[in-house]
Amino acid sequence: DDKIMDAAAFEKFLHERVKVNGKTGQLGDVVKISRDKSKITVEASAKFSKRYLKYLTKKFLKKQNLRDWMRVVASDKNT
């Protein structure tokens, strides 16, 4: 809610960039990305790497010139 990072733009970025079976932008029923105000949820029924999600998040932050001020951290090992 502090307007530093635009959650809608990040959700759109994920929809465009997430690869499923080597193809970008074709999520189908395998990966579901949803947003509730400032919280974004990614649900995957197939194998989906947390490292890949962190990579995409860092890429988005770099594109928005926020990488120097924000850090990507997981809340626990299984999230």
Query: pLDDT for 16-70, tens place per residue?
Result: 999 988 888 888 889 999 999 888 888 888 888 889 999 999 999 999 998 888 8
Rounded to whole angstroms, the Cα distance separating 26 from 23 reads 6
Q: Write down the pLDDT at residue 16.
A: 93
Rounded to whole angstroms, the Cα distance separating 58 from 52 reads 10
Tell me the whole-structure pTM to 2 decimals.
0.83
